[in-house]
Amino acid sequence: MRKILGTLIAILISQIGFSQDYQSDFQKYCQTNDTINQLKILTEWNSANPKDAELYTSYFNYHFMKSKQEVLAMSTNEPNGESLVLKDSLNQTAGFLGSKIHFDQKELEKGISKINEGIKLYPNRLDMRFGKIYVLGEVSDWKNFTSEIKKTIEYSTKIGNNWTWTNNEKYDGGEKEFLLDIQTYQLQLYNTENDNLLKNMREIANTVLKFYPNHIESLSNLSITYLLTGEYDKGIEPLLRAEKINPKDYIVLSNIAQGYKLKGDKKKAIEYYEKTVEFGDDRAKEYAKQQIIELKK
């Protein structure tokens, strides 16, 4: 019996060793952008250990990197990064020639398919879910980006935020860290400056609040989606909820004041700017004092 157990342990150690070697070799070829050897390693790895969690994330990375293509494009607006200025016969700026990232849809779909398989087999692997969300954001697939975030929030509550990470190691972050990551995705949507995506922010904020009703950051996010569309009462309401949770949160107090200012309620705006002066840091106090002076004119 001991002999059999010893053999089984040896096989297990051998499999782990092979997995780590494949992973290391794959990462080495990623650094040199050697897609031929990347695929060779993945094929061998798949034959040796087809259910290895790291194989799925590696396939996902392979297809995503392969889908990403840089092309030269002309535009009338100056692109981000380096570009060549094009001049007309009068030496006036006629346009710009710069690089633009294009994604091959077929390769991208192969990668998404692989990570979906991985998530199905290893639903507690947060790195898989966050990796998928990252890629969806990179390709501006905001519908699926939002949907995947909502699924991740809902699943997190089922497992008590007990996630695992790369190589099935325990994810050290608990509820606080997890929600900070979700907040980063909310900020990503906000930074697009696309008002059509405010509804996506709202969906995510409401999903968080469904399970964490006292999450002040999500109450603030929810507020922003209404204030920016001129729905001031709807925007102020979640902020008032946040104030009840933490009456000394000067950021919330300042946002309430701003909401009332936008609504045209000077009395209430001054009241909340005065609260901001009471509880805020030096910068917030100075801004609130200036606002009070303006509102009292």
Residues contacting 249, CB < 8 A, separation 6+: 216, 242, 243, 279
Is residue 272 one of the residues assigned to a domain? yes
Specify whether 205 is located in the same domain as 230: no
Q: Considering 212, 246, 281, which residue would you say is the last residue of a domain?
A: 212
Is residue 249 one of the residues assigned to a domain? yes
In which domain, by residue range, is 227 found?
213-297
Specify whether 129 is located in the same domain as 201: yes
Is residue 177 one of the residues assigned to a domain? yes
The reported pLDDT for the residue numbered 101 is 73
CB-based contact 56:36 (threshold 8 Å):
no
Is residue 146 one of the residues assigned to a domain? yes
The reported pLDDT for the residue numbered 102 is 76
Specify whether 184 is located in the same domain as 252: no
Integer angstrom CA distances of residue 24 from 8, 18, 20, 56, 148: 24, 10, 6, 14, 29
| Domains contained in the chain, number | 2
Q: Considering 212, 232, 247, which residue would you say is the last residue of a domain?
A: 212
Is residue 61 one of the residues assigned to a domain? no
Mean pLDDT by 10 residues, the chain (297 residues): 43 45 90 92 93 95 88 59 59 60 89 97 96 96 98 96 93 90 95 95 97 96 96 97 96 96 96 95 95 92
Could you tell me the CATH number of the domain that includes residue 224? Answer: 1.25.40.10
The reported pLDDT for the residue numbered 79 is 59
Is residue 203 one of the residues assigned to a domain? yes
Specify whether 136 is located in the same domain as 195: yes
Q: Considering 212, 234, 269, which residue would you say is the last residue of a domain?
A: 212
Specify whether 179 is located in the same domain as 225: no
Following DSSP, what letter does each residue of 107-155 receive, concatenated?
HHHHHHHHHHHHHHH-TTBHHHHHHHHHHHHHTT-HHHHHHHHHHHHHH
The reported pLDDT for the residue numbered 174 is 86
